[in-house]
Amino acid sequence: MTTRAQSEVLGYVLVFSLIVLSAGIVYTGGIEGLQNAQQAEQLNNMGRAFDVLAANLADIHQRDAPSRATELQLSGGTLGFGPPVEMRIRATEVGNASNNATFSMNPRPLVYSGHDDTTFVYIAGAVIRTDGEASVMRNSPRFRVDSERTVIPFIVTYPKTDESLGGQSTVLVVGTSLGNELAGSFTPANDVTVEITVNSPRADAWGHYFEREGYTAVDANASDGTVTYQVTTERLYVYRSVIELDLER
């Protein structure tokens, strides 16, 4: 074989190798991009499903529905319950600190853990999405706050069975009412300072919510997992709704 022929063969081999390599890179990149898009859409669908869950459970604590069920497609993630979240309300009469009242609850959040450290959480009427260390509230709790009257619903959720479910299956989340009641009220002669404290791994999302709604910061540093905000109103009413959550395949 002449030197020229050898060079041509070598050139063909190099060109063919580059074509194969480029095709492999494009294929790998395309597959990875498709997988990322699918995972992003699955997470978006889960966020919408949690919004539906929040609306269904609102039927229980706002409209006295006996129960509600919501379907969630796990898509490779895990659905279970997190540790209790402490929420505390302290009401104090303006100008008379000795006249005060405290209300508290410790609901168990429903937590979906998906791809890339992304979680969705239902807690106290709110839906929170967490990506890594950053949390954002995508569905707000149903607090009613104004200068005349403040109404805080305490939605106390807890599991019927403390279990976690994973895989690709569909899970039915069944919420059952175990009672709605007026937990207490505070209606002194003067205005009321209402302090709300949340102790949670997602305290930053609660802090952003309180700021967005115009609450005054008492302790806005969420790095220790606790935030406290306050409002001034004339009357405070706290309602408690206890909801049992059951996970069914």
Q: What is the pLDDT of residue 37?
A: 72
How many residues in the chain? Answer: 249
**Closest to 140 measured CA to CA, from 200, 195, 234, 206:** 206
pLDDT at position 197 is 99
Distance CA 194, CA 87 (A): 13
Residue 26 DSSP code? H
Which of these, 125, 134, 119, lies nearest to 87 by C-alpha position?
Answer: 125
Kindly report the pTM of this predicted structure: 0.85
Q: What integer pLDDT is reported at residue 12 of this predicted model?
A: 61
> What stretches of 114-187 adopt beta strand conformation (E)?
118-123, 126-131, 134-139, 144-145, 149-159, 165-166, 170-186
pLDDT value for 42: 84
What span, in angstroms and rounded, lies between the C-alpha atoms of 225 and 179?
30
Helix, strand, coil distribution of the chain in percent, nearest 5: 30, 45, 20
Task: Measure the CA–CA gap between 179 and 201, rounded to whole angstroms.
Answer: 28
Distance, in Å, from the CA atom of 4 to the CA atom of 27, rounded to the nearest integer, reads 34
- Is 202 buried (19+), middle (13-18) or exposed (0-12) by CB count in 10 A? buried
Percent of the chain with pLDDT over 70: 86
* Distance separating alpha carbons of residues 142 and 122, to the nearest angstrom: 13
Spell out the alpha helix ranges (H) of the chain.
Answer: 3-63, 203-212
Nearest to 204 by CA among 185, 220, 180, 183: 220
Alpha carbon distance 144, 244 (integer Å): 24
What order do you get walking across the sheet with 78-81 strand by strand? 134-139, 126-131, 118-123, 110-113, 78-81, 165-166
Lookup result for tokens 């050139």: 11
- Is 189 in a helix, a strand, or coil? coil
119 neighbors 112 (Cβ within 8 angstroms): yes
User: Which among 126, 150, 149, 147 has a CA at the least distance from the CA of 138?
Assistant: 126
pLDDT value at position 91? 99
Q: Which residues pair with 152 in a beta bridge?
A: 238
Residues of the chain with pLDDT under 70: 1-36
